[in-house]
Amino acid sequence: MPKDEKKISSRIKYLIKEINYHNEQYHTYDNPKISDKKYDKLYKELKELESSYPEYQNENSPTRRIGDKLLGGFSKITHKFPMLSLSNASNADDFEKFYIKLQENIKQNEIPLFAEPKFDGLAVSIEYHDGKLFSAVTRGDGKIGEDVTSNVKTIKSLPIKISKNLLSKHITLRGEIFMNKRDFNNLNNQLLKVDEKPYANPRNVAAGSIRQLDPKVAAERNLQIFIHGIANTGTGFKEKNHSSLMKEVEKMGFRVCKLNQLTKNYEEACLYYEKIKMERENLPYEIDGIVYKVDDLNFHKILGETAKAPKWSIAYKFQSTEKVTKLNDVTFQVGRTGIITPVAELEAVNIGGVTVSRASLHNMDEIEKKDIRIGDYVYVKRAGDVIPEVDRVLLSKRLPENTKIKMLKKCPACKTNIMKIKGQSFYICSNHNSCFPQVSQSIIHFSSRKAMNIIGLGDSIIEQLLNKKKIENYSDLFSLSYEDILSLERMAEKSAKNIFNSIHKSKDTKFEKFIYALGIKEVGETIARILSENFQTIDYLIKANRDDLENIKDIGPIVSDNILEFFSHKTNVNMVNKLIKNGLKINYIKQKVKNKNQNNSYVITGTFENFTREELKQALLEKGASVSNSISKKTTALIAGKNPGSKYKKALDLNIDIIKSDGLFKLLSEFH
């Protein structure tokens, strides 16, 4: 190698090492050693050298974090270890009950809990193989998530490579991706300058950035990550406590929240909650509560988990933050199903680091109940710390001229007469097929990830397609040509091709997803799944009568009415037929064969040698039985493994049959 080339190669290696060191100091340890200006200078030099001498590029280079665009969208990945949700404690009583239950099950008074702030971000599972970042997957439904590795790699505080001697060959970490308040406000200010719609909250930005098809978007957002756990603690780790495990995680170079604390007992856990609640407003990021985990990892096995959440952990949520501001006016929005919602136009106020200028008033009954008037000073809170709502009026500041709020007589969008729904609090515009907000929102819903999953078809593109008369409703999407999409404003050839391909890929879909995509009022994912399991085809569902629907468990009269109403309109049936004519392929599920066990309901508790609880549950469901999380008089039997817990006692009290491990194989063999 010539001398000059040796110098270049050495310089590139030096810059990579230096920049990675400063990334670690800044993002992991909050301890910057150089100014942003000096850092940018080093980074720029590295990029220029790598561009001029690509043969010396190194896989550890910080410039390699940003990959190419994902042309085919995000692939689905099955989690090796399910990503469970957390049970919630909404008040002090809930948290106390959780602790008492721990005392009863563990049989000791003082139980150390590891306490950490609950971040308002996006949960991810991250795998390292042989010390190298292998994959990053979103939570999804807990079993299957989306592969977002390319975007997660852009997070500077996340190591691409870690020391192998500190961990097992494969390690699965759990973390939360979030955005600092300062970066969030800067982004929104930039959007407002170019007359674009600002984001509602930092969580939306974090989640949206990670789901962008172009990793460069995620890289520009300066996203952060805190690691809060290891999923595969049983392999390669000697630590017996979660607190010790987190120290090892930090040694590996991962960013761990500095506010995390081990609490020795219930009193200390409560003090920690109050302390963080007081500091919350001044933190650089959004949090909405505290997560507590039993520190002893052996107790995790004893306590186990439900189908949805571990029994050894809980999220103790903060009460919603509230501020007082003036209600200047009320506007009315038209929802996807035609419901007219009053919206408070407020003097801008900062609530928990987010600027709020609009808030929900829910409905006219709620307005009358709270006696809200235009000109009032009102308490505004972020419900669930996300959606702002007007909670109550500060009556001491009311002026005589403040005016009562009245419902419009005509739809603000299409001028159709507004009707009140009989027996309910809502007003509705019945012009479902021609009212622009209803049509555009129905297409947004149809295209959404949980429905047909048409990637790249955002709100502004849908509005353009409607305004340019390229489509009239979602049934026209499958008729769109590549040229139709390319003709839209600010549409690049590659983006048009991606959207066109995504539309055609969506033609092959599950029955439950298609039912959900139709946007039938109150037919969410769960009801859509139930319907898909009980009707052989879409034609059977369209022709269903009231008895067909109400004979299905969990389908009540209101949902039945909504389904019957939807398919009674010829336009809706025609839209379904048009989609099928244009290539829609619905994947129907094989209908369950009714058997003698159809009405049997089981509850599972404890641990089993030859099954996980989830595997046992699936075996029972496949045989036509149902599985519940709680014991009742209707329970057929409790299936009890080792360390069965409180459900065992309840089954005895209610005289419910108990099937132990030795009788389990007999039960499964009896199914037909």
The residues annotated with a catalytic role in the active site are: 118
Q: Where are the beta strands (DSSP E) in 245-298?
A: 261-263, 287-294
Contact 22, 35 (CB under 8 A): no
Task: Measure the CA–CA gap between 608 and 640, rounded to whole angstroms.
Answer: 8
> Backbone dihedral region of 380: left (phi > 0), alpha (psi from -120 to 50 degrees) or beta?
beta
Q: DSSP 3-state helix, strand, coil percentages of the chain (rounded to 5)?
A: 40, 20, 40
Task: Measure the CA–CA gap between 27 and 255, rounded to whole angstroms.
Answer: 7
Who contacts 173 (Cβ-Cβ below 8 Å, separation ≥6)? 125, 126, 127, 128, 227, 229, 230, 231, 249, 254
* H or E element in which residue 529 lies: helix 525-534
Other residues' Cβ atoms within 10 Å of the Cβ of residue 602: 21
- Residue 53's closest CA among 12, 111, 87? 12
Handedness of CA 641, 642, 647, 649 (dihedral sign): positive
Pairing assessment for the beta strands 76-78 and 144-146 based on DSSP bridges: antiparallel
Contact 2, 136 (CB under 8 A): no
- Residue 269's closest CA among 88, 92, 87? 92
Could you give the residue ranges of the DSSP H alpha helices within 112-180? 149-152
Pairing assessment for the beta strands 626-628 and 601-605 based on DSSP bridges: parallel
